[in-house]
A and B are shown apart, each in its own frame.
Chain A
Amino acid sequence: MKVKMLSRNPDNYVRDTKLDLQRVPRNYDPTLHPFEVPREYVRALNATKLERVFAKPFLASLDGHRDGVNCLAKHPKNLATVLSGACDGEVRIWNLTQRNCIRTIQAHEGFVRGICTRFCGTSFFTVGDDKTVKQWKMDGPGYGEEEEPLHTILGKTVYTGIDHHWKEAVFATCGQQVDIWDEQRTNPICSMTWGFDSISSVKFNPVETFLLGSCASDRNIVLYDMRQATPLKKVILDMRTNTICWNPMEAFIFTAANEDYNLYTFDMRALDTPVMVHMDHVSAVLDVDYSPTGKEFVSASFDKSIRIFPVDKSRSREVYHTKRMQHVICVKWTSDSKYIMCGSDEMNIRLWKANASEKLGVLTSREKAAKDYNQKLKEKFQHYPHIKRIARHRHLPKSIYSQIQEQRIMKEARRRKEVNRIKHSKPGSVPIVSEKKKHVVAVVK
């Protein structure tokens, strides 16, 4: 019997000197490798199929809360640490790698309305229904110490949200007005109001750190400059906005999660028209968070699902749901852009992969090259109907699916009515309003 062995002669591949050209073990004459397009098409098709085969995004569920999870916060310096506040006033700190709870604090009475970490990661702030703002140490208390906040600020009104400045020892709370606090003081530096309604969330701009955005239940989104005493401008939408989130890579872009099932990405310089209207949810969008790369964001909805949208696309690229996940109240994209966390009504925090079919762990260079190539192929051939169909296919819960159908019908009816109205009225008397402009009621400066 013949024994086959690998025999490699170094003469065939080792260069004499470093300056020699590398030997090319392949003839790249295009005539020798015909049918480029069909071959790549097939590869793209296979890559797309494999992507769907390996799409298993759900990683872990962190359970321990005894009430619905109301807010989430990322640790600014540690990827593994996540903080969550529940509807029973409990705050828990989780370790994601071990997937367990490392600390539990009974922070408030009633809801924990908001939670945010300091930029240095040594402490975090919580606000609750008990009209208090509390600052806590990130590390747990030593042996024999009591679990106590570093500072407690008693306010006059209920605070519904809190966010910390990205560089300075300043934080902002919202309730009836937006207050900007110095950490060292018990009174706000300034309070800004525009209108008389409760403000549901306030967010600092991560790039232009003096800017703030807030959204109120009187359907408006207000922008502030911390250095000024008055708000900058506001935009009034059709329906109330629940949260906004700034794009960490583009200073003037933010996305608002609206009650009308849509998300609106605004350029703060031109608020009269949203840059993009993202629609796919079938119920109110409750929370939104940007990927640290600024290319995508994730939204949590009352329809028991979370969706991932590319910033420049109006349709989501991904939807995550499980049978047990109820209304998702809060969602966060981890700082390494690989994972997504969502807290929902049914007391669990779920950990998902941001890219459903991505392989976790260390990749070899060949694996990486293959991954990149496949990704490029998918991109290249994404418009081909077969590939598009496969890539877009998702399983949806029946409720969501039927609601999508229903809303499609409603939308079509509305469109038809509009078309008819235009058709049967004096030309020019009924203006044709684009989808983007439709939802913006007014911009006030």
Chain B
Amino acid sequence: MTANRLAESLLALSQQEELVDLPKDYLLSGSEDEGDNDGEREHQKLLEAISSLDGKNRRKLAERSEASLKVSEFNVSSEGSGEKLVLADLLEPVKTSSSLATVKKQLNRVKSKKTVELPLNKEEIERARTPLEQEIFNLLHKNKQPVADPLLTPVEKASLQAMSLEEAKMRRAELQRARALQSYYEAKARREKKIKSKKYHKVVKKGKAKKALKEFEQLRKVNPAAALEELEKIEKARMMERMSLKHQNSGKWAKSKAIMAKYDLEARQAMQEQLAKNKELTQKLQVASESEEEEGGTEEKVEELLVPDVVNEVQMNADGPNPWMLRSCTSDTKEAATQEDPEQLPEPEAHEVSESEGEDRPVAEEEILLREFEERRSLRKRSELSQDAEPAGSQETKDSSSQEVLSELRVLSQKLKENDQSRKQKASSEGTIPQVQREEPATEEEEPLLLQRPERVQTLEELEELGKEECFQNKELPRPVLEGQQSERTPNNRPDAPKEKKKKEQMIDLQNLLTTQSPSVKSLAVPTIEELEDEEERNQRQMIKEAFAGDDVIRDFLKEKREAVEASKPKDVDLTLPGWGEWGGVGLKPSAKKRRRFLIKAPEGPPRKDKNLPNVIINEKRNIHTAAHQVRVLPYPFTHHWQFERTIQTPIGSTWNTQRAFQKLTTPKVVTKPGHIINPIKAEDVGYRSSSRSDLSVIQRNPKRITTRHKKQLKKSSVD
């Protein structure tokens, strides 16, 4: 018994050790410990008391960061109880203390009553009367799960029992090793992280990338499904990268490199690398399988079977070119929507069609369409049920179901295409009715063709083109040739004629379904082409509107103008005194008559200058900021503002004038030369008496005035 207990405790120990190791001097509560390390405990207590003084509870479970080599019995810990396990405790039998004796007896008595258990269990089983409960019980029984006491499954019990002491020891050693390894790894990682060398990190990163690529290649060969998942992950990373716009030249590093790039070859290379990386990241990811498709049909088929189409569809959405930018975006987006959520597919489609129908024959067509969708839904349900029926559902069936969904989508897109096509045909001025008739067989032929197309449709454009191809073919070929052509083409495009029986069945089913419905769709499409076109355009506009919903510039402008107009309107003055001459108070308003009487209407201001200019706001207020730079009063010598304006508007700088003009314009009125004495003016200086000028240091710009004055003066003096 002791041995058994020991084993159990060891097992527990090994499980607990993984988690947390208590600090060595953790407060021990066991009374056994008192004897050997009493002093230590006291010390610990003291420490704790000190540490608790500052309010914060410092006591924390220390995390084990590295493997301890001394995993001894003496510091084995028991996590759950918070107490230390001591080996002696494990070895010793349970002492029967007098106080516990009665309880133990009771316990034994309870244990001995085995007769209670079985009927109870039975009762429980019997209680499961509903079919669901029964099913559950059945399942539980089948898997040997505990029904009543959900503690340990029989398997677990068995494994527990199977574990011997040696095994436990081995396991412990293993765990220790693992821990040691982890700690080494951690240390290594820390060390590596500390390395500052950029080159080192670059090399490491490159190596990792290479390795990952290699692994991915390997994985692709071995397990394509997993590879696809991986691919998806990569794609997601790429998208994240793209969204965050890293690896461009906007970063700090890139900027610094850009500066250096002129001189430093290395920096230039680094930049180029970065740009290449950016290109790579922002580029559309090519699906690997595309090239292989051409090689052979069988291989392709295998892969198709292996890779669920749903994955591809997701890619389709991610990789497709920006739908906003496409001309025929409406249909694309619709398709995308349908692809994203095949369950939701029927409603919008029906809606659209019914819309496009217009008023011609609304009820009947609608009914037919609705029926079609109903049927399709039921079909899907049926397939799902069949899947359920086979619990060991194979990849094949799953694939077929997804294939089915896709095929549905294709059919729908095809229909849209056909609408387009019929429109084109209308343009070529043919009668509507024969056209419809002509097309019916074509579509009949086409449906299976589409379904069995060997290539997977990767992107929306391809899906589109798929439709287009057929359109062209239909257009070019006259009716009699058509069928032959079709029959010719069919084997070409169908190298995998022998297919799974089940699939074929489904296809036939689908075909039937479509053949019954296609005429209705066709007949619908013809008279509503233009409306469709209109709608497309409208949708496009709508879409662009949505895309730029945040910045509706025109409305903002109109709003701004309205506000400006409102603000500039003279305000009415309300002089009503509430409560004056009548009752006042909360909720009482002055009477309308009074309000009318005391409302002073502001006179209409002058009409706004921008009244008749819808795209202009003219602010007639004075702008303070510009006013600081404007002359308020007409300066003195000027008599008209235009005089002043003209002087200002004539530039004098050499930027606008020739050199000579500039010199003339900028010559100061008075030029003085340094170091030259300027003598007072003399009559001779101004040419009154013809004599040479004695002083050249002053050049009067306007000597005329002076001469006249001089004359006067001289006259006067002579008179005097």
Interface residues, chain A, CB within 8 Å of chain B? 24, 28, 30, 33, 36-37, 39-41, 43, 76-77, 79, 166, 206-208, 210, 225, 248-252, 269, 292-295, 335-338, 369, 372-373, 375-377, 380-381, 383-386
For A79, A248, A337, the residue with the greatest tally of chain B CB atoms inside 10 Å of its CB is A337
Given contacts A79-B675, A293-B672, contact A37 B706 (CB under 8 A): no
Question: Is B668 on the interface with A (CB-CB < 8 A)?
Answer: yes
Given contacts A40-B651, A225-B720, A293-B678, contact A372 B666 (CB under 8 A): yes
Question: Is B717 on the interface with A (CB-CB < 8 A)?
Answer: yes
- The docked-state distance in angstroms from the alpha carbon of A376 to that of B629 is 18
- The docked-state distance in angstroms from the alpha carbon of A151 to that of B682 is 31
Q: Is the CB of B666 within 8 A of A373?
A: yes
For A39, A210, A384, the residue with the greatest tally of chain B CB atoms inside 10 Å of its CB is A384
Write out the residue numbers on chain B whose beta carbons fall within 8 Å of the beta carbon of A210.
717
- The docked-state distance in angstroms from the alpha carbon of A380 to that of B655 is 16
Q: Is the CB of B653 within 8 A of A385?
A: no
Q: Mark B263-276, 1 if CB is under 8 A from A, else 0.
A: 00000000000000
Q: Mark B625-657, 1 if CB is under 8 A from A, else 0.
A: 000111110010000000010011101111111
Q: Is the CB of A28 within 8 A of B657?
A: yes
Q: Is the CB of B706 within 8 A of A250?
A: yes
**Known pairs A294-B681, A369-B666 / 20 extra A-B pairs, C-beta < 8 Å:** A28-B656, A28-B658, A30-B656, A41-B629, A225-B720, A249-B681, A249-B700, A250-B706, A251-B713, A292-B680, A335-B678, A336-B674, A336-B676, A337-B678, A338-B672, A373-B666, A380-B652, A384-B631, A385-B629, A385-B630
For B628, B656, B668, B716, the residue with the greatest tally of chain A CB atoms inside 10 Å of its CB is B656
Q: Is the CB of B678 within 8 A of A385?
A: no
- The docked-state distance in angstroms from the alpha carbon of A30 to that of B656 is 7
Binding site secondary structure of chain A: loop
Supply 30 A–B pairs (Cβ within 8 Å), ascending by A. A28-B656, A28-B658, A30-B656, A37-B649, A40-B652, A77-B677, A79-B675, A225-B720, A248-B681, A249-B680, A249-B698, A249-B700, A250-B709, A251-B681, A292-B679, A293-B670, A294-B681, A335-B677, A335-B678, A336-B673, A336-B678, A338-B674, A369-B662, A373-B666, A376-B665, A376-B668, A377-B652, A380-B648, A383-B635, A384-B631
Write out the residue numbers on chain A whose beta carbons fall within 8 Å of the beta carbon of B710.
251
Determine how close the nearest CB of chain B comes to the CB of A352; give it in whole angstroms. Answer: 15
Q: Is the CB of B628 within 8 A of A385?
A: yes
Chain A residue at minimum C-beta to C-beta distance from B677? A335
- The docked-state distance in angstroms from the alpha carbon of A249 to that of B698 is 10
Determine how close the nearest CB of chain A comes to the CB of B62; give it in whole angstroms. Answer: 62
Which residue of B655, B658, B673, B677 contacts A33 across the interface (Cβ within 8 Å)?
B655
Q: Is the CB of A24 within 8 A of B658?
A: yes
Given contacts A250-B709, A386-B628, contact A293 B698 (CB under 8 A): yes
Q: Is the CB of B630 within 8 A of A248?
A: no
Q: Is the CB of A292 within 8 A of B678?
A: yes
Question: Is B667 on the interface with A (CB-CB < 8 A)?
Answer: yes
- The docked-state distance in angstroms from the alpha carbon of A25 to that of B580 is 82
Determine how close the nearest CB of chain B comes to the CB of A267; give it in whole angstroms. Answer: 10
Given contacts A336-B676, A337-B672, contact A208 B628 (CB under 8 A): no
Question: Is B663 on the interface with A (CB-CB < 8 A)?
Answer: yes
Write out the residue numbers on chain A whose beta carbons fall within 8 Å of the beta carbon of B716.
269
- The docked-state distance in angstroms from the alpha carbon of A33 to that of B654 is 11
Write out the residue numbers on chain A whose beta carbons fall within 8 Å of the beta carbon of B706.
249-250
Chain B residue at minimum C-beta to C-beta distance from A206? B680
Binding site secondary structure of chain B: loop
Determine how close the nearest CB of chain A comes to the CB of B524; give it in whole angstroms. Answer: 62
Q: Is the CB of B713 within 8 A of A252?
A: yes
Pairs A-B, 10 closest by C-beta atoms: A206-B680, A292-B678, A248-B680, A36-B651, A335-B677, A383-B635, A372-B666, A376-B666, A373-B666, A249-B681
- The docked-state distance in angstroms from the alpha carbon of A372 to that of B674 is 15
Q: Which of B280-323 contact A (CB under 8 A)?
A: none
Interface residues, chain B, CB within 8 Å of chain A? 628-632, 635, 644, 647-649, 651-658, 662-663, 665-668, 670, 672-683, 697-698, 700, 706, 709-710, 713, 716-717, 720
- The docked-state distance in angstroms from the alpha carbon of A166 to that of B713 is 18
- The docked-state distance in angstroms from the alpha carbon of A147 to that of B667 is 49
Determine how close the nearest CB of chain A comes to the CB of B140; give it in whole angstroms. Answer: 84
Q: Is the CB of B668 within 8 A of A372?
A: yes
Write out the residue numbers on chain A whose beta carbons fall within 8 Å of the beta carbon of B644.
383
Determine how close the nearest CB of chain A comes to the CB of B719; give it in whole angstroms. Answer: 12
- The docked-state distance in angstroms from the alpha carbon of A386 to that of B677 is 37
Determine how close the nearest CB of chain B comes to the CB of A353; give it in whole angstroms. Answer: 11
- The docked-state distance in angstroms from the alpha carbon of A30 to that of B649 is 12
- The docked-state distance in angstroms from the alpha carbon of A79 to that of B713 is 30
Chain B residue at minimum C-beta to C-beta distance from A333? B678
Write out the residue numbers on chain B whose beta carbons fall within 8 Å of the beta carbon of A377.
652-653
Write out the residue numbers on chain B whose beta carbons fall within 8 Å of the beta carbon of A269.
716
- The docked-state distance in angstroms from the alpha carbon of A39 to that of B655 is 10
Given contacts A336-B675, A386-B628, contact A373 B652 (CB under 8 A): yes
Write out the residue numbers on chain A whose beta carbons fall within 8 Å of the beta carbon of B717.
208, 210
Q: Is the CB of A376 within 8 A of B720?
A: no
- The docked-state distance in angstroms from the alpha carbon of A293 to that of B717 is 23
Write out the residue numbers on chain B whose beta carbons fall within 8 Å of the beta carbon of A335.
677-679
- The docked-state distance in angstroms from the alpha carbon of A208 to that of B720 is 13
Chain A residue at minimum C-beta to C-beta distance from B644? A383
- The docked-state distance in angstroms from the alpha carbon of A369 to that of B679 is 26
Which residue of A207, A249, A336, A385 contacts B631 across the interface (Cβ within 8 Å)?
A385
Write out the residue numbers on chain A whose beta carbons fall within 8 Å of the beta carbon of B648.
37, 380-381
Given contacts A37-B651, A380-B648, contact A336 B672 (CB under 8 A): yes
Determine how close the nearest CB of chain B comes to the CB of A303; give it in whole angstroms. Answer: 28
Write out the residue numbers on chain A whose beta carbons fall within 8 Å of the beta carbon of B647.
380
- The docked-state distance in angstroms from the alpha carbon of A335 to that of B667 is 22
Determine how close the nearest CB of chain B comes to the CB of A300; give it in whole angstroms. Answer: 21
Determine how close the nearest CB of chain B comes to the CB of A359; give it in whole angstroms. Answer: 11
Determine how close the nearest CB of chain B comes to the CB of A274; give it in whole angstroms. Answer: 17
Given contacts A36-B656, A295-B670, A373-B666, contact A79 B631 (CB under 8 A): no
For B678, B680, B713, the residue with the greatest tally of chain A CB atoms inside 10 Å of its CB is B680
Q: Is the CB of B655 within 8 A of A385?
A: no
Q: Is the CB of A375 within 8 A of B658?
A: no
Q: Is the CB of A376 within 8 A of B652?
A: yes
Write out the residue numbers on chain B whose beta carbons fall within 8 Å of the beta carbon of A225.
720
Write out the residue numbers on chain B whose beta carbons fall within 8 Å of the beta carbon of A28.
656-658
Write out the residue numbers on chain A whose beta carbons fall within 8 Å of the beta carbon of B682.
207
Write out the residue numbers on chain B whose beta carbons fall within 8 Å of the beta carbon of A36.
649, 651, 653, 655-656
Q: Is the CB of B656 within 8 A of A373?
A: no
Determine how close the nearest CB of chain B comes to the CB of A4; give it in whole angstroms. Answer: 15
- The docked-state distance in angstroms from the alpha carbon of A207 to that of B649 is 41
Q: Is the CB of A385 within 8 A of B632?
A: yes
- The docked-state distance in angstroms from the alpha carbon of A43 to that of B666 is 14
- The docked-state distance in angstroms from the alpha carbon of A383 to that of B635 is 7
Determine how close the nearest CB of chain A comes to the CB of B288; give it in whole angstroms. Answer: 48
Chain B residue at minimum C-beta to C-beta distance from A355? B672
- The docked-state distance in angstroms from the alpha carbon of A208 to that of B644 is 38
- The docked-state distance in angstroms from the alpha carbon of A37 to that of B657 is 14
Given contacts A24-B658, A375-B668, contact A207 B629 (CB under 8 A): no
- The docked-state distance in angstroms from the alpha carbon of A375 to that of B670 is 12
Determine how close the nearest CB of chain B comes to the CB of A212; give it in whole angstroms. Answer: 14
Write out the residue numbers on chain A whose beta carbons fall within 8 Å of the beta carbon of B663.
369
- The docked-state distance in angstroms from the alpha carbon of A40 to that of B657 is 13
Q: Is the CB of B681 within 8 A of A79?
A: no
Q: Is the CB of A208 within 8 A of B656?
A: no
Write out the residue numbers on chain A whose beta carbons fall within 8 Å of the beta carbon of B713.
208, 251-252
Write out the residue numbers on chain B whose beta carbons fall within 8 Å of the beta carbon of A41.
629
- The docked-state distance in angstroms from the alpha carbon of A384 to that of B632 is 8
Determine how close the nearest CB of chain A comes to the CB of B63; give it in whole angstroms. Answer: 59
Q: Is the CB of A43 within 8 A of B649?
A: no
Q: Is the CB of B656 within 8 A of A33?
A: yes
